[in-house]
Amino acid sequence: GTLLLNSTTTKSAEGKDTYMDVTLSELMLLTSRGLRHGTGSYSALGMVQKALDDIVASCFQKWADAALKQSGQSLRGKIGEFWQTATSTTDTEWQAVHAGAN
């Protein structure tokens, strides 16, 4: 979804600009005020809790992607190096390098 700070515009079927400023979770928070105050997933509290859970999950996913990006790139590079070496090394060379590992 789109966050409040990332306003985007799309064209509706009628050709009018439509602003996409809130995510579904944010819209649920904004509209839950008028819902009944019982319990369960369709109550105001249940909708607020679900919306907050969705927002937290989205933020955590973005944080995890950013935090692990460099490590993921490094891992991909090392796997590529390993694969290149493994496919270009003869059996004799492999056994000579790894003879002490047995």
For residue 14, name the pLDDT band (cuts at 50, 70, 90).
low
- Confidence at residue 1, expressed as pLDDT on a 0 to 100 scale: 44
- Does pTM top 0.75 for this prediction? no
Residue 5's pLDDT is 41
pLDDT of res. 76: 95
Q: Which tens digit of pLDDT belongs to each residue from 16-48?
A: 666 556 677 777 766 666 666 666 767 777 777
Convert the pLDDT of each residue in 55-95 to its tens digit: 888 888 888 989 999 999 999 999 999 899 888 988 888 88
What residues contact 32, with CB distance under 8 A and at least 6 apart?
A: 44, 47, 48, 51
Query: Alpha helix locations (H) across the chain?
Result: 24-31, 44-88, 91-97
Amino acid 47: pLDDT: 76
